[in-house]
Amino acid sequence: MFYSFFDPTYFLVIIGLLISMAASGYVNRTFRHFDNYRSQSNYSGSDAARFILAQSGINNVGVQKISGDLTDNYNGQTKVLSLSEATANSTSVAAIGVAAHECGHAVQDHVNYWPMRLRSAIVPVANFGSTLSLPIIIVGVLLSYNQTIIHIGIFLFSLALLFQLVTLPVEFNASRRALQILSDGQVLTRDEVPMVRKVLVAAALTYVAAALSTFLQLLRLILLFGGNRDDN
């Protein structure tokens, strides 16, 4: 009975949690560090976002300030680029890098970047899978470890991992576009661009960590319930 609640595979969850915490801590430390470096152009995050959008020929995307810290995002449905207070008002190279990354998503939307379209299409399916997977697995366990039901639950959970994997190229591409935009010297100097690169690399690691964490959770479910169970 004790084993069933504290099985060794739980260490996979702990490892995933530690990876996510380490990545989150790293991106926060990196952002705080480069947030102390003021850009020579004196552009704020909001100024940089509007400039980049204009330079990219995008005139149908609004820029707004939202509450929170590092809650920046781009909504392709409403065509609104939202910058957190720490990004919108700051003239640091870190803030400009974050704003440029979100502009990278706006550019992806503008050019109809297909991995971004794929990710958007997967969102409802991934949400459905992550919500119902564990209840379905539990039902399968209660029904004398019905493998068909359990495998359906595991498959649904795997959709969350699929979403995480599709997210990776979307985020990496947005950062690459941001660096290309900022490398022209109009917003940041040549010496400031490498600082932004470090911020964006740190941010990208959070998505890698999320994918690894989800994979480890899926592996745990497979190890626990994926095979034929023999309780004799």
Considering 85, 102, 171, 192, which one is annotated as catalytic?
A: 102
Close Cβ partners of 226 (under 8 Å, ≥ 6 residues apart): 150, 151, 154
Q: Decide if 48 contacts 196 (C-beta within 8 A).
A: no
DSSP annotation of 184: T
d(CA 183, CA 193): 7
Active site residue 192: no
Closest CA to 173 of 194, 195, 205, 204: 204
| Local structure of 226: helix, strand or coil | coil
Contacts of 14 (CB under 8 A, 6+ apart): none
Within 10 Å of residue 8's Cβ, how many Cβ atoms?
9
Query: Nearest Cα to 213, choosing from 148, 145, 140, 157?
Result: 157
Mapped onto helix, strand or coil, the DSSP state of residue 145 is coil
Task: Tell me how far apart the alpha carbons of residues 108 and 123 are, in angstroms, rounded to a whole number.
Answer: 17
The CA distance from 63 to 84, in Å, is 11
Residues serving a catalytic function are 102
